[in-house]
Amino acid sequence: MREETPAGGVRSWPLVRQFTGRDKHALGAAALSATTAALEPRTATADRVVKSICPYCAVGCGQKIYVKDEQVVQVEGDPDSPISRGRLCPKGSATRGLSTSPSRLSKVRYRRPYGTAWEELDLETAMEMIADRVVATREATWEATSNDGKPLNRTMGIASLGGATLDNEENYLMKKLYTALGVVQVENQARL
């Protein structure tokens, strides 16, 4: 319960408020400073709220992402979700940290063969180099047929790991592209 905090004068002193107001133990309104009273939760000042789903385990809790100035300022549980009913666990509650962590990567890092340090590389160049390596490795390790002449149409020179933390649409494009390239060693955390 919040009582009004008088703007000034003797009546605004905490001790006076404790004796004259309802908060006789000074655990709430009587101890509240004007600064604290003026605070607003980040959820109240957000520009918009976007509906989302927790990225950690597979319970699939509803999340509300609060955005201000194009930054994620808060992540809350979604009371509308019939599964989670507004709750989040410690991991789900910490989700905002994924956005704000100073160690979060935002630049490509490159380590050349036998290199001893990371180097910078622009994304465009990195994508082109990766595409070149896929094409070359596929060419060098292509298996058109088995030893007894049956078609294999594949490369065993490339492998991929990951997917259980990704979107269905992403898994779909991964599987589609890899299969077309003949990459069969495609795996994810479903086995871990």
**Least separation, in Å, of the C-beta of 39 and another protein?**
20
**Least separation, in Å, of the C-beta of 34 and another protein?**
29
Which residue lies nearer to another protein by CB, 20 or 165? Answer: 165
- CB-based contact 110:121 (threshold 8 Å): yes
**Least separation, in Å, of the C-beta of 35 and another protein?**
25
**Least separation, in Å, of the C-beta of 93 and another protein?**
8
Which residue lies nearer to another protein by CB, 25 or 48? Answer: 48
Which residue lies nearer to another protein by CB, 42 or 112? Answer: 112
Which residue lies nearer to another protein by CB, 16 or 152? Answer: 152
